[in-house]
Chain A
Amino acid sequence: MMGAARPAVARRRRGGGLLAVGVLLAVTLAACGTSSPNSASPSTSSVTKPLDVMPKGAEVVRSSPPPPTEPCNATASLPPPATMPSPGIMPSGSYMAQILARGYLKVGVAQDTYLWGYRDPVTGQLTGFDIDMLQQVAQAIFGSSDQKYIHYVIVPNADRVQAVESGEVDIVAETMTVNCEREKSVDFSTVYYEAGQRILVPTNSTITGPQDLGGKRVCAPAGSTSLQNLVATGMPRNIRLWAVNDTTDCLVMLQQGQVDAISTDDAILLGLAAQDPNTKVVGPTFSSEPYGMAISKAHPDLTSFVNGVLAQVRSDGTWTQIYDTWLMPYTKTAAPAPPAPSYR
C-alpha cells in the first residue's frame, strides 16, 4: 500500500536535512555527530482478549412470578354473525365495509418468528401460520387471495396491544396469548392455536424438563410471561435468567454456548428447533398459551366476522392444511383437532 512505501523516502529526506546541519556542526565544533533518525519500532505484543459477543440487549434479569389475575373468561369471544356476508359484499355500515372501501386489510405481524410470521428469503414475502390465518380473513372480505388486499405492519411484541388500540392495524396475529390483562384493552378472536411453555435444549443436553433447570442459564424474551412462568411456584429456585429483545436472539446465545436452554411457547420453540437441527424441545408443557387475534374493542363486528372465518377454517379442513404446511414437518405428528371455539 501507499503507506508502506513512503516512510523510507521520509527517512532519506530527513537524513538530507540533518546532513547539512551535520556538515556545519563539523566545521564549527570539529565534532562530527549525525544521528540518524530511527523510527521507533513498536514491539507490539498482541494480547488476545477473550471475546464474548452477545446479541444487543442481552442481560441477566430477575423475574417475579405471574401476578394473580382475577378470574375472567378471556378465551370466550363474540359469536359469529348468523349468516356470513359473501366475499366482496360487506354489510353497509360495518367496519368490514370500511376495509373493503379502503382496498386493503391492515394487519400487525412478526417478521422474525419462524414458521409463524417471517420473511421468506427466497420470495421476500412474509409467510407463516399467522400470516396464512390473516389471509383467510382478507380472502373472506375481498374474495381474493391477492397480496395487494393485505398490508403488513411489523409490530414489536411489546406494541401489539397498542397497535390495535390506536387503529394502526385492524388485526394483530402474532403468536399472541389471550389473557385477562390484555382482554381489558382489546378484543380477541376465538382461539386458533393452543400453545404452552416448554424448553429447548441442545440435543446432547442432560436437561429433560423444568426440574433440571436449577443453576442453569435459561433464555427467554424480555418482558414476556415466559420469564414470569420460569419463577412460578414449583419451578427450581436458582434458574439464571437471561432476557433478550427477540426470541431468535436466544437461539444465537444457545448456539454460542452462552445459555443452556431456551424456554418459551412451544409454538415458537418449534420454529427455533426448525432452524437448528442440533436442538430438541423437551419436557412437559407447563403453561397454557391460547393464541388469538387481537382486534379493537371499537369494532366488535370485525371480531364477530373473524370468528365466522375461523369457524369455517376449522370445519372445512383449512386449519389442518395450514398446520400440515407449517408445523407437521417439525412436530412429526398428525394435526390435532383445531381448538374448539368458546363464545360469550
Chain B
Amino acid sequence: MTAPPLRATHVGARQGASRRPTPVRLRIAAVCIAILALVGGLVATLAATERQDATSAAWQNAEPLMVTAQAIDTSLSDADTTAAASFLQGRLEPADLQSRYETDLTSASAAVAGAAQEAGSDPEVAASLRTLSTDLPTYAGIIQEADFNERQASYPLAAAYLAEANNLMRSSILPAAAQVYGTEVRLLSDDQTQAVSPLLAILAVLAVIGLLFALVLAQRSLSRSFHRTWNVALAAATVIVVVLAVWATVALATQDSGVNTALANGSRPVSTFTDARILALRARADDELTLLTRDSDPSYQADYASTAVALRHLLTTSTGSRGSFELAQLAQAKSAFASYSRVHGQIRLDDTSGDLSSAVVLASGSGAGQLPGVSAHLNDVLSGGITGSQATFVDATSGAASDLDGLVWGLAVGAVLVAVLVLVGFQPRIAEYR
C-alpha cells in the first residue's frame, strides 16, 4: 500500500535535503493516506451501522412481534381455561367469565391478524398463522355450540362440545401459537446476539492501524526532509483517528453490556414467565376439565401431573444469572403455585372420595382459597413478571441502540475530516516545489 513511497522518503531523509521526495511521490502519499482514511471510515461506519441495526431490529421489530406472539399464546390458553371455568360454574355467574373469554378470543384473533401482516416471510410462521386463522373460528363455533346446549340445560352435550373444543385447542391451536412464539423468540435472540461480521471488524481494525502507522511515518518523514517540527494538520488528523478508535471501542463495549442486560433481565425472563403462565393456565384447565368430563377422559389428570412438573421446574431451576426483579417475581410465583397445588390437592381428594359437590365448589367458587382466586393470583404474578421484564428489555435495548447513534455519524464525519486534514497537511510541502 503506502509503505514503498514512505520507505523511500525515509531513506532519503537520512541522506539530507538533496534527496527530498519528489512532488509526485508526495502527492501519491497524500492521496493514498486520504483514501485509506475514507475507506477505513467507511468500513468502521458500516460495522457500527450493522451492529446498531441488529439492536434496533431486536427491540423495534422482533420484540413487538414476540410480544404479539406471546399475547396470542397466553390469550388462547386463558380463553380455553375461562371457557371451562364458566361451564364449571354453571349459569350462576357467567357474565364476567363470558366477557373475559370473548376479550381473550378477540385479542388473540386481532393479534393473529397483526402478526400475519408483520411476521415477514418465515414459511413455518406463515403456516402456523394460517392454522390459527382457520382453527380459531371453528373453536369459537364449537364453544358456541357448547354454550347453546348449556342454555338448553343439556349439560352432558355441552360438556362434550367443550371437550371437543379443548381438544382442538390443545392438538392444533396451541401448538401453532407455540410455534409462532418460539420462532419469534429465536429471531429476537438472533438479532440481539448478532455480532459485527468478522470481515468488517478485521478490515476496520487493519484500516485504523494502517492509517495511524502511515500518519506517524508521514510526519516523521516530512519533519526530517523539510526540517519542520510539527505538521499541525497531520498531527490533528492523528489525534482524531485515536479519539475515534477509543470512542468506537468504548461505545461498542457499552452497547454490548446493554444488549447483555436486555438478554439477561429482559427477553430471557419474558420467555420464562410466558412459558410459566401458559403452563399454569393449562394446569387449571386440566383441573376444570377433569371435573367436567372425567367420566370419559381420565387423561386430564395425567396431563396435570406433567404440566405441574414442568411448571415447578421452570420456577425453581436457577441459571445463576437472574436479576433481582426476576428472582423476586419467581419466588412469589413459587409460593402462588404452592397455594394452587394445595387447593388442587383438596379438590382431587374431595372428588375421589365421592364429594363431587365440594370439589366443584372449590374449583369454581369465588371465595378466598378457592381455585379461581389462587389461579388468578398466580396468573397476576406471572403477568407482572412478563410486563416488568419487557420494560427492562425495552429500556436496555433502546439504550443500547442509541449508544451507537453518535458513533455512526462521528465515524463518518471524522473520516472525511481526517482525509481533508491529510491533503491540507501535505499541500504546503508540495507547494515548496513550485
Whether A3 pairs with B133 at a CB distance below 8 angstroms is: no
Partner of A24, one of B38, B65, B298, B356: B38
Contact stretch, chosen from B18-26, B45-53, B202-210, B374-382: B45-53
Whether B360 pairs with A152 at a CB distance below 8 angstroms is: no
Q: A122 — which chain B residues lie within 8 A by C-beta?
A: 90-91, 153
Determine the distance from Cα of A120 to Cα of B110 in the docked complex, in whole angstroms. 36
Whether B352 pairs with A153 at a CB distance below 8 angstroms is: yes
CB nearest to A170 among chain B residues: B354
A118 and B156 in contact, given A2-B64, A3-B67, A51-B135 (Cβ under 8 angstroms): yes
Partner of B294, one of A114, A124, A154: A154
Whether A28 pairs with B154 at a CB distance below 8 angstroms is: no
Partner of B297, one of A18, A20, A119, A245: A245
Q: At the interface, yes or no: B400 with Cβ under 8 Å from chain A?
A: no
CB nearest to A221 among chain B residues: B296
Partner of A249, one of B49, B296, B351, B352: B296
Determine the distance from Cα of A10 to Cα of B142 in the docked complex, in whole angstroms. 41
CB nearest to B131 among chain A residues: A49
A window 169-187: CB within 8 A of B: 169
B window 122-169: CB within 8 A of A: 126, 129-130, 133-135, 138, 142, 145, 149-150, 152-161, 163-164, 167-168
Q: At the interface, yes or no: A198 with Cβ under 8 Å from chain B?
A: no
Q: At the interface, yes or no: B111 with Cβ under 8 Å from chain A?
A: yes
Contact stretch, chosen from B229-237, B267-275, B408-416: B408-416
B window 341-374: CB within 8 A of A: 351-357, 360-361
Whether A21 pairs with B46 at a CB distance below 8 angstroms is: yes
CB nearest to B64 among chain A residues: A3
A118 and B120 in contact, given A156-B296, A252-B160 (Cβ under 8 angstroms): no
Contact stretch, chosen from B7-15, B55-63, B279-287: B55-63
Determine the distance from Cα of A119 to Cα of B35 in the docked complex, in whole angstroms. 86
Determine the distance from Cα of A251 to Cα of B164 in the docked complex, in whole angstroms. 12
Residue with the highest number of chain B CB atoms closer than 10 Å, among A56, A104, A245? A56
Q: At the interface, yes or no: A231 with Cβ under 8 Å from chain B?
A: no
Partner of B164, one of A3, A47, A51, A54: A54
Q: A62 — which chain B residues lie within 8 A by C-beta?
A: none
B window 62-99: CB within 8 A of A: 64-65, 67-68, 90-91
Whether A42 pairs with B294 at a CB distance below 8 angstroms is: no
Whether A13 pairs with B60 at a CB distance below 8 angstroms is: yes
Distance of B92 from chain A, by nearest CB (Å): 8
A23 and B412 in contact, given A28-B42, A46-B130 (Cβ under 8 angstroms): yes
Determine the distance from Cα of A38 to Cα of B245 in the docked complex, in whole angstroms. 32
Q: B49 — which chain A residues lie within 8 A by C-beta?
A: 17-18, 20-21
Determine the distance from Cα of A25 to Cα of B352 in the docked complex, in whole angstroms. 76
Distance of A224 from chain B, by nearest CB (Å): 12
Whether A252 pairs with B164 at a CB distance below 8 angstroms is: yes
Q: At the interface, yes or no: B318 with Cβ under 8 Å from chain A?
A: no
A window 49-95: CB within 8 A of B: 49, 51, 53-57
Distance of A302 from chain B, by nearest CB (Å): 16
Q: B145 — which chain A residues lie within 8 A by C-beta?
A: 255
Distance of A175 from chain B, by nearest CB (Å): 12
CB nearest to B133 among chain A residues: A46
Chain A facing B: main interface SS: mixed
Whether B160 pairs with A246 at a CB distance below 8 angstroms is: yes
A49 and B134 in contact, given A2-B67, A122-B91 (Cβ under 8 angstroms): yes
A13 and B56 in contact, given A24-B38, A107-B354 (Cβ under 8 angstroms): yes
Whether B118 pairs with A3 at a CB distance below 8 angstroms is: yes
Distance of A86 from chain B, by nearest CB (Å): 25
Q: A212 — which chain B residues lie within 8 A by C-beta?
A: none
CB nearest to B352 among chain A residues: A153
Determine the distance from Cα of A290 to Cα of B193 in the docked complex, in whole angstroms. 71
Q: At the interface, yes or no: B260 with Cβ under 8 Å from chain A?
A: no
A246 and B296 in contact, given A1-B111, A153-B352 (Cβ under 8 angstroms): yes
Whether B295 pairs with A40 at a CB distance below 8 angstroms is: no
Determine the distance from Cα of A44 to Cα of B117 in the docked complex, in whole angstroms. 9
A window 1-52: CB within 8 A of B: 1-4, 6-7, 9-10, 13-14, 16-18, 20-21, 23-25, 27-28, 39-40, 42, 44, 46-49, 51
Distance of B190 from chain A, by nearest CB (Å): 16
Determine the distance from Cα of A296 to Cα of B152 in the docked complex, in whole angstroms. 38
Whether A55 pairs with B60 at a CB distance below 8 angstroms is: no
Determine the distance from Cα of A42 to Cα of B119 in the docked complex, in whole angstroms. 8
Q: A121 — which chain B residues lie within 8 A by C-beta?
A: 90-91, 150, 153, 155, 158
Whether A276 pairs with B157 at a CB distance below 8 angstroms is: yes
Whether B133 pairs with A114 at a CB distance below 8 angstroms is: no
A window 96-145: CB within 8 A of B: 104, 106-107, 110-114, 118-122, 124-126
Q: B163 — which chain A residues lie within 8 A by C-beta?
A: 55-56, 249
Q: At the interface, yes or no: B314 with Cβ under 8 Å from chain A?
A: no
Q: What mask results when residues 235 to 268 of chain B are scored 1 for a CB within 8 Å of chain A, else 0?
A: 0000000000000000000000000000000000
Q: B91 — which chain A residues lie within 8 A by C-beta?
A: 121-122
Q: At the interface, yes or no: B16 with Cβ under 8 Å from chain A?
A: no
Known A24-B412, A151-B354, A275-B149; further 18 A-B contacts with Cβ < 8 A: A6-B61, A10-B57, A13-B52, A14-B56, A20-B411, A25-B42, A28-B38, A55-B167, A106-B354, A114-B156, A120-B155, A124-B90, A153-B351, A156-B294, A156-B298, A157-B296, A169-B354, A245-B296
Which A-B residue pairs are the 5 nearest by beta carbons?
A151-B354, A246-B296, A10-B60, A3-B64, A275-B154
A-B contact pairs, 11 of them (CB 8 A): A20-B45, A20-B411, A24-B45, A24-B412, A27-B416, A39-B120, A42-B117, A122-B90, A271-B156, A275-B149, A275-B152
